[in-house]
Amino acid sequence: MSSLRAINPLIRRYGPKSEVVEAELDSIWKEPSLEQMVVSARHFSEDSLVKGRVITAEKDRVIVDIGAKTVGIIDAREFANDEEKPKVGDEITVLIEELENDDGLIGLSKRKADRKINWETVVAKHKEGDTVRGKVTKKIKGGLLIDIGVPAFLPASQVSIRRTRDINEFIGDELECEIIKIDQARENIVVSARKLQERNRERLKDALLSEIEEGQLREGVVKNIADFGAFVDLGGIDGLIPTRELTYGRK
């Protein structure tokens, strides 16, 4: 329920004639009904999602009317630029971070609301074992982050079936991965590109074994060179060309 005590921090910050103060004063003169008070008490809890309307968009803050005669604040640093910042009159969904911040107002987050919505969408659509596709965004401790609708963790050991000296080379790439773990409590997803590659390789191996014969000519990709010869990927099976069979030079 609105009260005169909530006005003082608003006046100090925005001035006595600001739109924010006037909106709060209006909410005091027009006291909410008992039904509105019950709805407010039931829905306004930390970490919950609420819909609201932007009433002021300042350089450092965005003020949102979240209903039940209540306004909240979004730190403008959440938005990379003015293009991302919502405009006055926009209807947006926000997450309640804190019921009372340093200004005595409700602290809101649009970024966390978007992440929560995306998380709920992803876990409703996918389960462990499903195949997903995403873009590798950055390297973190122990592996990579890949965007599959929400950031997912791709351990370094699960990036590729091949040895990789520097996993930074995958940043910016689109990869197909298998979801190997969904932690609902921590809102964390772990994926593996390697497991998918291993399964695909087994399928190619079975197909190749069914048709390969001695004396055939086949193209392959050199994957490793050792003192005793070169290993060639024939598309599912590795072959070895002994050193004595190799010709050094360009053709």
Q: What is the pLDDT of residues 183-233, one digit of tens each?
A: 999 999 999 999 999 888 888 777 777 777 777 777 778 877 888 888 887
Mean pLDDT of the region 71-95: 88
Mean pLDDT of the region 30-38: 46
From 164, 105, 167, 112, select the one nearest 136 (Cα to Cα): 167
Number of C-beta neighbours around residue 5 at 10 A: 8
Strand partners, 51: 93
Mean pLDDT of the region 8-21: 52
pTM of the model: 0.64
Cβ atoms 223, 241 nearer than 8 A: no
Residue indicated by tokens 């911040």? 101
The pLDDT value given to residue 69:
78
- Domains of the chain, CATH where assigned: 4-115 (2.40.50.140), 127-196 (2.40.50.140), 217-251 (no CATH)
The pLDDT value given to residue 145:
97
From 194, 190, 196, select the one nearest 154 (Cα to Cα): 190
Judged against a pLDDT cut of 60, whether residue 85 lies above it is answered with yes
As given in the structure block, the two tokens for residue 7 are: 């006005």
